[in-house]
Amino acid sequence: MPGLLQQPSASLSDHHVALPNSLLLTAPEHEALRHYQTTYSLYRTTKDPHWSTHKVLLSLGSYNPMIMHFLLAVSIDDYSLRKGHRSSSQEAESHFQEGARLLIEMMKRGAEEDHVSTMAAYFFIYLYMSKRKSTAPYRLNQLSLTVLDYVERHELNHRCVNFSDSSTTLVTNSTKTDNSLLARLIMWTYDEDVKCSFQSTGGHLARHLTQHSARTKDVYEASRNALATHWGAEYPNSQQLDDDLNSTVLEFLWALMPLWQDINDLPHEQDFNSLELRSRIEQTFFYLEQKYSAVFRLSADAGTKPRPRVLVNADFDVVLFSALQIYYFRSTLSDLSIETPSHVQSALKTLLTIIQRTFASRGTELHDRLQWPLFLAGIETDDVIYKDWIFSRLTSERVATALQRTVDAQALSGKRYRMAEIRQMLYDTDDLSLPGGSTGFLSAIQDM
């Protein structure tokens, strides 16, 4: 496969042409790639799409059929969901199954040492499976175990921070590029697994990386320069300056991932271990608020319009921090009828103020990542006007239905619903996956 520094043709998403990986794409598939580059990447990151990690993965996929099939599965699925084209679901599934077949083939021939391609494949599998209604919770659990096994077996969290080539003491540009991108893929997959853990499924990889926090921090540090290392001399100075300017706010965002996972792991019943975990969580809230006080000050600057990327990222940091405060409060309640504590009221107010400002001043590209904080605000606020506004901003029918059921149950009982019950209601689904279907390949991988 050509080196990762090679870029796909500029006409990749504009014409019906064969890709360097020998795939010939149809017009709808090219439309899906346009969606991936111009829309999907903006829903997931504030980075300029021309120089983003998503563009790097597209470059990788243009030479790697397995990655391209997974990328197309995710893109077609997302495009069809946003456009209401349910007929495209089978096309996305076909690409997913072909990508899974190629992944199994790669592992059978012992080529899984291509860690960047393998982790990119797993990352796209997370993106695809977590959005499919037909994915049963135990399938996500199986995925998390599979990826954890791969990371541990190949010691990837050590490999990506060791910039020396195994065959020489020299550090090559290729080694730096692969290791930085590998580190970024591990961190992004960590993020996806934390979200799966909130669904009471998955979380094995996230738990492992959270428990080994010092090494995971090293992985994050290695991931910081993934874009500059990948693009090399082509990377504009303006983009490097943008990365430097956003360094602290992005560091804060990733510092919230282990906190989120710790809250996910809180047991339903109090015991010594849970009390110890609660103490650590509360100390982490205090520590992060002090360490990243500058980020809170940036977000409090409401007068700057339009808001540059660093302020948009700071806003999301504070929104997620506030949402985690609400999540922690709801996860540790013993008295479901108590008044909302002042610090939770403050978190709720901060969260809603920033989200309202975001919806008023930006397009729809930032709305996706605000859905989880909106849901948490909806289950805690008793303000009818806020509740109506939150419902009007939820884009997921499943989330809106779960919120309505929670609000109705709380109104009927006069007390809060337990967080465990809400999580189960939010993500409860029947297993519509057929044996040997789209996720059956995970069993084949685990048996190797």
The Cα 137–Cα 132 span in angstroms is: 11
The Cα 170–Cα 163 span in angstroms is: 9
Helix (H, G, I), strand (E, B) or coil at 331: helix
The domain ranges of the chain are: 265-428
The identity of residue 393, as a single letter, is R
The better pLDDT of the pair 361, 440 is held by 361
On the 0-12 / 13-18 / 19+ scale of CB atoms within 10 A, 143 is: buried
User: 11: which DSSP letter?
Assistant: T
Q: Which two tokens stand for residue 66?
A: 């397995």
pTM for this model (two decimals): 0.89
Dihedral in degrees, nearest 10, Cα atoms 167, 171, 172, 174: 90
Mean pLDDT of 110-131: 90
The Cα 5–Cα 198 span in angstroms is: 36
Check whether 435 has a pLDDT greater than 60: no
Confidence of residue 268 (pLDDT cuts 50, 70, 90): low
pLDDT tens by residue, 348-373: 999 999 999 998 876 677 788 999 99
Mean pLDDT of 276-285: 95
The identity of residue 226, as a single letter, is A
Mean pLDDT of 306-315: 94
Confidence of residue 257 (pLDDT cuts 50, 70, 90): very high
pLDDT tens by residue, 79-109: 988 887 766 788 999 999 999 999 999 988 8
Closest CA to 85 of 40, 43, 32, 24: 32
Check whether 165 has a pLDDT greater than 90: no
Mean pLDDT of 52-59: 96
Which pLDDT value is given to residue 112?
62
The better pLDDT of the pair 30, 9 is held by 30
Cβ atoms of residues 356 and 377 within 8 Å: no
The better pLDDT of the pair 101, 421 is held by 101
pLDDT tens by residue, 399-408: 899 999 999 9
